Amino acid sequence: MPLTMFDTALFSACYLTGRQRWLEQLTKLSDPVQYLPYPCAGYGPDHEVLITDTAWIGAEDASNVLVIISGTHGIEGFAGNAVELDWLRLLADGTVIIPDDTALLMIHALTPWGYAWQRRCDADGVDLNRNIVDFSKALPNNSGYEQLRSALFIFDAQQRQAAFTEFEQQHGRDAFERAISAGQYTDPSGPFYGGRAPAHGRRVTEELIQRYALASRDLAVIDVHTGLGSYGYGEIICDHEPDSPATAMAKSWYGDSVMLPLLGTSTSVPKTGLLDFAWHSIMNQRSCYITLEFGTYATHELFEVLLQDHLLWSKKTDGVNEEAKREHRKLMRHHFCPDDKAWQEMVLFRARQVIRQALHGVSS
């Protein structure tokens, strides 16, 4: 096996390059492709247009569909883009063949604004992965977040950390992580904000589900994320109910590496408004949705880099110049996609493994 089997040159420097390479790779496929772009409002830092690109690869009437999603959390699209490029290359050179009754739906940069600006959220500060709630009803309440809120915006990192430690000692680690990251619907400038209306990525998802009548097909959905968990490991997070047919399906396809937040076995705590829920609601009993989450650094470092990001972008620090934001982008990139060939190889290896399991599972 050649040492260059996993090509870390697939990791691109910016959204624009990643997108161009993705579009170019699409043209090299011999399978039939339906390409649909979904423009997003706004521009990137280099005035580039922002598009969620999608490709349906294979037969239009396929009864099984493998769905690969990248950039749900904008900046996490750096790794997601490389994973999708790698898979497109395997398809193009014939290393992987999609069975006749199966199609691949590839969704690139579901939150393109965040990918281009190297943030996790969209232009309105919305976390797409907390956005799938019924906005016509009372929104989920996160009392822990409200308790911690004043501490989140303490500018001095040491003071902030002391307040966090106090909360954790009183309520426990799990409650602390839920308070910050489970999702909140009251504070647009804060982290893990679910928004007040369906975000771009949710609208695209719902349109694709309609467009391709996905409720009437068997689905294997893989949503690629980074930034939580052990360095380089791709954890399979399953947010279906533990005793559901979908969880049984996930275990039969992916084996013992399936982890469930609802059972406390995952590095992720249970959350509100996950993108998963847009798919769970239309899935039949032979389908399942997983998050493939690649770890980088410790959870407290994730919170720190995100809180700094929200501080810089919040109105409270209007005096902060653009240079500080530019500098912080490097730290964001470092947390969500380390410039380390070993980490990148681990991502490519594990993604191939999990996508292959999904393809085999949904096709059989």
We find the least distance from the C-beta atom of residue 7 to Zn ion, in angstroms, to be: 24
Nearer to Zn ion, 76 or 84 (CB): 76
| SS3 sequence of the chain | CCHHHCCHHHCCCCHHHHHHHHHHHHCCCCCCEEEEEEEEEEECCCCCEEEEEEEEECCCCCCEEEEEECCCCHHHHHHHHHHHHHHHHHHHCCCCCCCCCEEEEEEECCCHHHHHHCCCCCCCCCCHHHCCCCCCCCCCCCHHHHHHHHHHCCCCHHHHHHHHHHHHHHHCHHHHHHHHHCCECCCCCCCCECCCCCCHHHHHHHHHHHHCCHHHCEEEEEEEEEEEEEECCEEEECCCCCCCHHHHHHHHHHHHHEECHHHCCCCCCCCCCCCHHHHHCCCCCCCEEEEEEEECCCHHHHHHHHHHHHHHHCHHHCCCCHHHHHHHHHHHHHHHCCCCHHHHHHHHHHHHHHHHHHHHHHHC
Determine the interface stretch with Zn ion among 8-16, 225-233, 316-324, 349-357 (rule: CB under 5 A): 225-233
The count of chain residues that interact with Zn ion, using the rule CB under 5 A, is 3
- Select from 39-47, 217-225, 246-254, 255-263 the region that touches Zn ion (CB under 5 A): 217-225
Min dist CB 155 to Zn ion, Å, is 25
Instruction: State the binding string over 53-92 for Zn ion (x if CB under 5 A, else -).
Output: --------------------x--x----------------
The minimum distance between CB 336 and Zn ion, in angstroms, equals 8
Shortest CB 285 distance to Zn ion, Å: 27
Q: How far is the CB of 334 from Zn ion (least distance, A)?
A: 16
Q: Is the CB of 218 or the CB of 293 nearer to Zn ion?
A: 293
The residue with its CB nearest to Zn ion is: 225
Q: How far is the CB of 309 from Zn ion (least distance, A)?
A: 14
Shortest distance in whole angstroms from residue 76 CB to Zn ion: 5
Q: Shortest CA distance to 23 belongs to which of 10, 35, 12?
A: 35
Please tell me whether residue 271 binds Zn ion under the rule CB under 5 A.
Answer: no
Measured from the CB of residue 192, what is the shortest distance to Zn ion in angstroms? 10
The residue from 19, 225, 240, 328 that contacts Zn ion (CB under 5 A) is 225
**By CB under 5 A, residue 217 contacts Zn ion:** no
User: Considering beta carbons, is residue 200 or 217 the nearer one to Zn ion?
Assistant: 200
**Rounded to the nearest 10 degrees, what angle do helices 143-152 and 157-171 cross at?**
160
Q: Which is nearer to Zn ion, 12 or 268 (CB)?
A: 268
Return residues touching Zn ion (CB under 5 A): 73, 76, 225
